[in-house]
Amino acid sequence: MVAEAERIDRLAKGTAQWNAEDVVAWLVGMGVNATVFQTYEIEGKDLQTLKEKEIRSMVATNNTPEQVEKVVEAWKGLKKKDVLDSTPKNVQSQQKKGKKKALLVGCLYRGTRNQLQGCVNDNKYIQYMLVQRYEYHPSNIMMLNDHQQDPKYLPTRNNILNACTWLLRDSKPGDRLFFQFSGHGSKERDYSGAELDGYNETILPIDFKRAGMISDDTLHNYLVKPLRKGVVLHALADSCHSGTVLDLPYITEPDYSNFFMWKYAAARYKAGGGGDAVLFSSSRDNQTSADTSSFTGGIAATGAMTYCFIKAVESKSANTYGELLVSMYSTLRKAAAGQQMAPSAGGFGMFSFLLSGGMGGQAFNQCPQMSSTEMFDLKKSLKL
């Protein structure tokens, strides 16, 4: 109690920043009923920019007019001192648990013979999922795609690599990062002898003909090698030949009963920086990926891997890493067999927001694959 009293005293003197909990304690100390205030949307608002009428609304219930005026006058004093925390409480809570940041890249290659249809849709779907289900703040999500008007956010080679640096910048233990690439993938000859098949896997920025492709070696150096211990990176690569595009040492593949097992391939991979990286890829190194609208009944083009990933999360059938892989594998198998599957009605509304219809009719020569810096129990809870 003494410590709390000292805290309130420091707050009143303007020597500490006020957050939502501090304001509630302050109101109680003034003899004001704070129940309505505590459950009001202040937990998602910028405290410094709240208006007088909002304050009155918060404390009007079960308080006398004199108490309301007392609070309003005190609030004005706090605003003048500029001690109110400008960070919404939901972001404060996220900061205590660790920061979440995401980089989403979608390449359409518009106006070229390499043009794709669904990659920007993939960006939007994943952004919606991260915000609605995993509580990423929109201001911490960077999107690079062909629809951007600002040249800084076009998915060029230089912009992608700069954005990768941004993603890992100032990361600390407890932070969770997400990287998505949706576009073309390819291969290039490896002359170092490090790749068993003699080729580096690559992703293609929109200016790859001029600036070059981005190899798995480069992605590893930008996204995996700098990872600090305690930082977790999840990546989703929806492109051809993307099975090992981050050069991670452990790979999962389905066995004869369609359960996924770990495979060790460290001889051709490089060590990371101590953090944990997990890659979900849309195909093995020798497979190609599908960019299609058949999953969504011809309504919205999307990458097959992105669709299956979000569908598993939406249906809430992917609570673990293993369940996620099995769900994606099952969806791709059903697509290859031409079966129809309507989007789920539950979850966080992903498909009601962006997609409708069913899927089927097109064969997809793909197998979802997960690779990681470390082997772990596939029954481990999925937390992005």
Active site residues: 184, 240
- Tens digit of each residue's pLDDT (9 = 90 or more) over 68-122: 887 777 777 766 665 555 554 444 455 457 899 999 999 999 888 888 877 888 8
The answer, yes or no, to whether residue 44 has pLDDT greater than 80, is no
| Architecture of the structural domain at 98-372 | 3-Layer(aba) Sandwich (3.40)
Read off the tokens for 355: 């997609």
The answer, yes or no, to whether residue 31 has pLDDT greater than 90, is no
The pLDDT, as a whole number, for residue 289 is 43
- Tens digit of each residue's pLDDT (9 = 90 or more) over 188-217: 766 565 555 567 789 999 999 999 999 998
The pLDDT, as a whole number, for residue 293 is 41
The answer, yes or no, to whether residue 240 has pLDDT greater than 60, is yes
254-257: long-range contacts, CB 8 A cutoff, minimum separation 24? 254/325, 254/329, 254/367
Band of residue 360 on the pLDDT scale cut at 50, 70, 90:
very low
364 C-beta neighbours (distance < 10 Å), count: 24
The answer, yes or no, to whether residue 145 has pLDDT greater than 90, is yes
Share of the chain above pLDDT 90, in %: 27
The pLDDT, as a whole number, for residue 303 is 72
The answer, yes or no, to whether residue 242 has pLDDT greater than 60, is no
The answer, yes or no, to whether residue 7 has pLDDT greater than 60, is no
Average pLDDT over every residue of 27-49: 56
Average pLDDT over every residue of 285-290: 42
